[in-house]
Copies of this chain bind each other. A is one copy, B any other.
């Protein structure tokens, strides 16, 4: 049976593109090495018809298909299970920019295009593709869309979903939906695009996308500000949104412990502001000039200083200084890893509830695990926190993780639910958060999702065991 499937796959996409031997860990093991699977084969189709042929062959042989992009996911959604029965469908050979339309502000990229290549294609013609995240050098646009990736500029430009105007998708039956619309408005029926986006390969395989480009700002400038409390950060956000409107393209908050870990493990990185309970990174994108950007930043931050909302501020004097500020923020994940394993939560809340949530969750965690240390940072402008619990000082981090993870997750997610938040903001569900789906997701929503899965993939061969 599986020998016949392999023959069919080889005939469809070529011998060299169906891998069954040797070290396949580039596809079978996720990059954080949390999930190691075993694939029946790794199929590497080179175009849409070949993807459709792979899906049809697998369906005909009752074999599950696990689509994969750059294998940079954080929830185990893109690696096969350990059964050795699933076909890993890698999209990385499909990496062409098919078209760039300057007047329409769009480009068409195949699923396997690395995000950075998409950014560069836009940049090369003086435009901006604003999706930006840590893995951009290796993640693919197909994976970004399959997981509705977020990143640092969601506040202004939205997540991956908001940057996609059309899709080409291979369905569960191996048909191709040609939906590469470059239209801003299209009310001809149900919104298939947004249904496939974020469905983590469980409803169809995204093979290409039409992406929305934006005008490149004349100047981009970064500032840091220190706040005495998270509540002050939220107040600053409101004022910055009021005064800078769409000019405010980034608003990141970092608690003192996050930056202390950066200071400890990356002492070479200069921290422009003295330690404070909270430090905010603001990014302003200006359509006029650097001078105008500075003037606007000075207005907002000057007023915030006067009103006592911030205690101190530093506006970058150069592009290099802006990069240094971002580098501080981006170093937190590595610094916390240096400190030892921790228990990660990618959560979102209404901005109005974040202060109460953090106070409540932190108190509950401290009661349950005295001395635990909170690495609390993230995209405050979107209500998205990376709320990570580090073992108490001197406690074995691996042991703490293995013994306490479930309990700590339960505390955090219960508080998230109580404040109207989500237990996955930008990373998705994959295999990691399936139990949370059952426990915290609205029962009617779950029933609707199951009906959608049943409707679009009745046999269930597309990425089974993920999301639902």
Q: Which residues of A contact B (CB under 8 A)?
A: 101-106, 147-148, 150, 154-156, 158-159, 161-162, 171, 175-179, 181-192, 194-195, 197-199, 203, 214-215, 217, 234, 238, 241-247, 287-288, 296, 348-353, 379, 382-384, 420-429, 433, 436-437, 440-442, 444-449, 451-452, 454-456, 467-468
Contact = CB atoms under 8 A, between A and B. Distances in A.
A280 to B, nearest CB: 16
A449 B185 contact: no
A383 to B, nearest CB: 6
Contact of A191 (B104, B158, B195): B195
Contact of A194 (B155, B194, B436): B194
Nearest to A285: B245
A441 B192 CA distance: 12
Contacts of A296: 288
Contacts of A188: 422-424, 429, 433, 436-437, 440-441
Copies, count: 2
Given A147-B187, A182-B420, A104 B351 contact: yes
Contacts of A171: 444, 448
A153 to B, nearest CB: 12
Contact of A426 (B185, B191, B287): B185
A181 B349 CA distance: 9
Contacts of A437: 188-189
A351 B185 contact: no
A187 B425 contact: yes
Nearest to A189: B449
B175 A203 contact: no
Contacts of A191: 148, 161, 191, 194-195, 197-199
Given A245-B215, A455-B454, A148 B449 contact: no
12 contacts: A105-B241, A150-B187, A179-B445, A181-B420, A183-B421, A187-B425, A189-B467, A190-B199, A194-B195, A215-B245, A288-B296, A451-B456
